[in-house]
């Protein structure tokens, strides 16, 4: 089957034939329907995040089940599913505490391999790793059973793909990680695919003020369609001063960092009011340390916290997203602004880098 393979950082993805072995116990073979163009894959392409290479990237996807391995009970052939890039083992320290998104067997011990420590992807004798155990920049994938979230068949599969990362990550950061109160003031630093969903999460949580911060005017305009009430362009004004000016000189109750850099983490922290909360969603390059004012942390009693996959329980939260989408509370179709074939994947990433508003999606067949 055809897949986009990263052989080396800072080289284009190579689209070509790779081998995919059948699903083993607890695994599922799926045919990918749609895969979103997220910056997390790009971090690996640029060498800002590392995993064993070669790898098939792609972690935001929807699919149709083709076959199941031994012992699989959650899905059957023909089911439509959203893929979760944080499949959980169910038995580790974190899983037992209901924090499957932090599963240590999945993330620490096996990473881009299946739960048994091997890969299903290979090219001859060269093993190929699976990003997030999902690897959906490919026609097919073998994924752990807990990485498959079954959804109703009526759901359009390209919108469903977005629930696999940007929607759940963004909305979850607001409703699970921060749990903002109605009437809150919110700033969102970075209004790309994930940031737009932080904005939506704040909007559906009845935030009073949602300030979009992004250097690209097109992104700021796009953000207004999803609930932003104000916008700040950091290339024309100091974003911290501008956000304070919009909030009576105090700063916001909640600032979300959704780009991934030490500088934007600092900016988000500095624009948070006394007693407020900064939530970091973006993945900064490996080893990057943010300059946090340590005495302000104490004297101003700020809270600084990370949010991974929207602090979600995918099997619960993704279905919540589905419900909100069907109820018209969550806009997903309008987020998809570009469609590509798998062969066009490098162009899709060039468009992300250039800063086209909205999400790009690879569609198959
Ligand atoms: N200040 C504010 N926004 C910025 C800045 C800055 N200094 N620099 C870049 N941005 C904006 C970009 O213009 C873009 O709109 O950040 C946004 C990032 O959006 P995308 O490229 O669409 O990335 P996305 O897929 O949303 O991922 C964002 O979340 O899950 C993580 O790994 C992911 O770190 C990444 C982050
Ligand atoms: Zn993602």
Domain that holds residue 189: 170-308
Q: Is ligand 1 within 6 A of the CB of residue 202?
A: no
**Closest ligand 1 atom to the C-alpha of 281?**
29
Give the ligand whose atoms come closest to the C-alpha of residue 352.
1
pLDDT > 90 fraction of the chain, expressed in percent and rounded: 99
Residue-level pLDDT at 191 = 98
Residues 266 and 186 both lie in one domain: yes
Closest CA to 38 of 118, 136, 177: 136
Q: Compute CA 276 distance to the chain's CA centroid, rounded to the nearest angstrom.
A: 24
pTM over 0.85: yes
Nearest residue by C-alpha to atom 29 in ligand 1:
282
Domain match, 42 and 19 both: yes
Q: Of 229, 226, 176, 231, nearest to 204 (Cα)?
A: 226
Q: Is residue 68 domain-resident?
A: yes
Q: List the beta bridge partners of residue 284.
A: none
Q: CATH number for the domain including 262?
A: 3.40.50.720
343 and 279 belong to one structural domain: no
Measure 40 CA to ligand 2 centroid, in angstroms: 5
DSSP tag of 169: H
Q: Does 147 lie in the same domain as 132?
A: yes
CA of 298 to the centre of ligand 2 (A): 32
Pair 218, 69 in one domain: no
Confidence (pLDDT) at 226: 98
Residues 352 and 227 in one domain: no
Within-domain flag for 319: no
Rounded CA gap, 109 and 117, in Å? Answer: 8
Q: What is the pLDDT of residues 173-211, one digit of tens each?
A: 999 999 999 999 999 999 999 999 999 999 999 999 999
Average pLDDT over every residue of 349-360: 96
> Same domain, yes or no, for 112 and 152?
yes
Q: What is the pLDDT of residue 365?
A: 73
- Is the same domain home to 131 and 177? no
User: What are 303-341's pLDDT values in tens digits?
Assistant: 999 999 999 999 999 999 999 999 999 999 999 999 999
* Radius of gyration of the chain from its Cα atoms, rounded to whole angstroms: 20
Regarding the beta carbon of 39 and ligand 1, being less than 6 Å apart is answered yes
Q: Is 137 in the same domain as 31?
A: yes
206: in domain: yes
What confidence tier does 65 reach under pLDDT thresholds 50, 70, 90?
Answer: very high
Distance, in Å, from the CA atom of 281 to the CA atom of 23, rounded to the nearest integer, reads 33
Structure tokens at 50: 């590392």
Residue 228 domain flag: yes
The pick from 48, 189, 221, 259 for probing ligand 1's pocket by mutation, whose C-beta has the most ligand atoms within 8 angstroms, reads 259
Please count the structural domains in the chain: 2
CATH number at residue 62: 3.90.180.10
Is residue 255 domain-shared with residue 197, that is, in the same domain? yes
What are the tokens at 21? 């072995």
Residue 20 has pLDDT above 90, yes or no: yes
Pocket flag, ligand 1, residue 215 (CB < 6 Å): yes
Position 217 scores a pLDDT of 97
Please check whether residue 190 lies inside any domain of the structure. Answer: yes
**Ligand 2 centroid – CA 43 distance (Å):** 10
How far does residue 295's CA lie from ligand 2's centre (Å)? 33
Q: What percent of the chain has pLDDT over 70?
A: 100
Beta carbons within 8 Å of 305's beta carbon, 6+ residues apart: 177, 178, 277, 278, 279, 280
Question: Is 151 found in the same domain as 6?
Answer: yes
Q: What is the mean pLDDT of residues 288-298?
A: 95
**Residue 159 shares a structural domain with residue 175:** no
Which residue has 């942390």 as its token pair?
A: 297
């Amino acid at each position: 089957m055809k897949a986009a393979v990263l052989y080396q950082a800072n080289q284009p993805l190579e689209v070509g034939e790779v081998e995919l072995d059948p699903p083993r116990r607890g695994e599922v073979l799926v045919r990918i329907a749609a895969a979103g163009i997220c910056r997390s894959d790009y971090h690996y392409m640029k060498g800002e995040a590392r995993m064993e290479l070669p790898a098939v990237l792609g972690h935001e996807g929807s699919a149709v089940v083709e076959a199941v391995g031994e012992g699989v009970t959650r899905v059957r052939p023909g089911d439509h599913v959203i893929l979760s890039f944080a499949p959980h083992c169910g038995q580790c320290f974190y899983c037992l505490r209901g924090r499957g998104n932090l599963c240590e067997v999945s993330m620490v011990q096996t990473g881009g391999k299946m739960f048994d420590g091997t890969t299903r992807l290979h090219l001859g004798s060269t093993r190929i790793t699976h990003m997030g155990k999902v690897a959906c920049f490919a026609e097919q994938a073998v994924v752990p059973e807990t990485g498959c979230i079954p959804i109703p068949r009526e759901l359009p599969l390209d919108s469903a793909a977005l629930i696999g990362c940007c929607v759940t990550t963004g909305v979850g950061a607001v409703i699970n990680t921060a749990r903002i109160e109605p009437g809150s003031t919110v700033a969102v630093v970075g209004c790309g695919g994930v940031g737009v969903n932080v904005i939506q999460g704040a909007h559906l949580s009845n935030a009073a003020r949602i300030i979009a911060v992004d250097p690209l005017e097109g992104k700021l305009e796009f953000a207004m369609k999803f609930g932003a009430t104000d916008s700040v362009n950091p290339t024309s004004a100091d974003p911290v001063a501008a956000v304070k000016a919009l909030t009576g000189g105090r700063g916001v109750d909640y600032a979300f960092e959704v780009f991934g850099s030490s500088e934007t983490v600092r900016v988000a922290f500095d624009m948070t009011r006394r007693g407020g909360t900064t939530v970091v969603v973006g993945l900064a390059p490996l080893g990057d340390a943010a300059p946090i004012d340590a005495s302000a942390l104490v004297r101003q009693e700020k809270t600084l916290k990370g949010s991974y996959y929207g602090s979600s329980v995918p099997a619960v939260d993704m279905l919540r997203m589905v419900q909100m989408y069907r109820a018209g509370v969550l806009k997903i179709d309008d987020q998809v602004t570009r469609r590509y074939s798998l062969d066009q994947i490098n162009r899709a990433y060039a468009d992300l880098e250039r800063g086209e508003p909205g999400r790009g999606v690879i569609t198959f067949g």
